[in-house]
């Protein structure tokens, strides 16, 4: 009898220290709450569809964090009651059709996509299986979209604005955007690019309407980002950092006050002329590349007149060019 009891006790001890494997079915697709520090609990974990339904019904901001890879049909995100944050958390969202998220609505609220995962075991990606874009900005909308991280990859585009126009603001602070033709296609959304990398066959950002615009002014180093203009776009619609950058076409010049239709331009660091002397009495200096005719070159603006003896603005180091589609670390699947 003692021997049996001893064996039972030993078995209990072994079982108490051996972790049980959790099946994929036991892991919810998402947890949600008011913030990243307030996730899960009774009634706040389940499928992604349940999380989004709860968020759309809420009049206060909702934070949704993925707990595993998910596959979704085209899903409307309206932010009807308040802002919604989607934390990819290192997991994938795959659109089973041509779109993963259709961002639409007239609430004026903001859909925020971020990725707080910092480990190396997995890497998030939002993608579409068919020939379109995983993020689609619906026409006639006033909703805003802000992207703080993650990878977005589509067979044709990563983000596409509907060609009939009408959207709020698209702000990109970070992330990787990969498209077969263009990474981003814009018509008249207010596009601000403060960071991120853009990889595509033709150009990173396509401006397909004369009211389209892109603001790089908050970007520390937009060097190498290419901008394609399908139509002639006013030069002032492409806003560059104040010092050290210009927009150049293939022959290394940007002529006139309007871009050329069906042309591709690239943001480049440009040599900046020394600040003018006090005798010259001007606040603007011309930044030109060697061998370019200044009279036909729209140059980057430089900072206002510097104090006597101040150094010219330092040039920013160029980024290394993208080399194809970025590889993503495979994650173990349940």
pLDDT tens, residue order, the chain (334 aa): 556 556 555 555 655 555 545 566 689 999 999 999 999 888 899 999 999 999 999 999 999 999 999 999 999 999 999 999 999 999 999 999 999 999 999 999 999 999 999 999 999 999 998 888 999 999 999 999 999 999 999 999 999 999 888 899 999 999 999 999 999 999 999 999 999 999 999 999 999 999 999 999 999 999 999 999 999 999 889 999 877 788 888 777 776 788 989 999 999 886 544 455 555 443 333 333 333 333 333 333 333 344 444 444 444 444 444 444 344 444 444 3
In a domain, 1, yes or no: no
pLDDT attached to residue 304: 39
pLDDT attached to residue 6: 60
In a domain, 188, yes or no: yes
Number of other CB atoms surrounding residue 36 within 10 Å: 14
What is the C-alpha to C-alpha distance for residues 201 and 305, in angstroms, rounded to an integer? 40
Q: Taking a C-beta distance cutoff of 8 angstroms, is the pair 171, 144 a contact? A: yes
In a domain, 331, yes or no: no
What pTM does this model have?
Answer: 0.76
pLDDT attached to residue 118: 94
- Cβ-Cβ contacts under 8 Å for 243 (sequence gap 6 or more): 272, 300, 301, 302, 303, 313
What is the C-alpha to C-alpha distance for residues 200 and 322, in angstroms, rounded to an integer? 9
Q: Reduce the DSSP state of residue 136 to 3 states and report it.
A: strand
pLDDT attached to residue 250: 73
Q: Which of 118, 109, 113 is nearest to 151 (CA)?
A: 113
In a domain, 255, yes or no: yes
What values do phi and psi take at 310, rounded to 5? -75, 150
In a domain, 9, yes or no: no
Residue with tokens 């901001």: 61
| Number of separate domains in the chain | 1
Residue with tokens 């036909």: 296
In a domain, 61, yes or no: yes
What is the C-alpha to C-alpha distance for residues 129 and 175, in angstroms, rounded to an integer? 20
In a domain, 310, yes or no: no
| Domain region containing 58 | 25-296
Q: Taking a C-beta distance cutoff of 8 angstroms, is the pair 197, 224 a contact? A: no
DSSP state of 92: E
What is the C-alpha to C-alpha distance for residues 264 and 247, in angstroms, rounded to an integer? 10
In a domain, 313, yes or no: no
């Amino acid at each position: 009898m003692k021997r049996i009891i001893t064996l039972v006790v030993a078995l209990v001890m072994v079982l108490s220290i051996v972790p049980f494997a959790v099946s994929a079915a036991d892991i919810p697709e998402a947890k949600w709450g008011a913030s990243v520090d307030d996730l899960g609990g009774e009634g706040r974990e389940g499928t992604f569809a349940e999380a989004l339904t709860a968020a759309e019904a809420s009049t206060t901001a909702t934070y949704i964090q993925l707990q595993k890879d998910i596959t979704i049909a085209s899903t409307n995100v309206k932010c009807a009651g308040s802002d919604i944050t989607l934390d990819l958390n290192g997991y994938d969202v795959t659109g089973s059709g041509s779109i993963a998220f259709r961002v639409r609505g007239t609430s004026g609220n903001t859909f925020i996509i971020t990725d707080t995962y910092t480990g190396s075991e997995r890497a998030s990606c939002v993608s579409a299986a068919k020939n379109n874009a995983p993020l689609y900005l619906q026409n006639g909308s006033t909703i805003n979209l802000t992207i703080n991280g993650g990878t977005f990859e589509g067979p044709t585009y990563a983000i596409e604005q509907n060609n009939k126009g009408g959207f709020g603001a698209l702000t990109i602070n970070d992330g990787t955007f990969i498209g077969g033709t263009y990474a981003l296609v814009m018509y008249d959304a207010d596009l601000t690019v403060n960071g991120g990398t853009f990889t595509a066959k033709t150009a990173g950002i396509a401006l397909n309407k004369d009211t389209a615009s892109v603001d790089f002014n908050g970007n520390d180093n937009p060097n190498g980002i290419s901008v394609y203009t399908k139509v002639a776009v006013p030069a002032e619609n492409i806003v560059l950092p104040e010092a050290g950058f210009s927009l150049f076409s293939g022959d290394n010049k940007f002529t006139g006050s309007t871009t050329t239709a069906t042309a591709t331009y690239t943001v480049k660091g440009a040599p900046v002329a020394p600040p003018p002397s006090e005798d010259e009495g001007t606040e603007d200096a011309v930044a030109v590349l060697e061998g370019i005719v200044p009279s036909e070159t729209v140059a980057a603006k430089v900072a206002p007149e510097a104090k006597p003896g101040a150094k010219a603005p330092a040039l920013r180091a160029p980024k290394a060019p993208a080399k194809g589609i970025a590889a993503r670390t495979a994650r173990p699947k349940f």
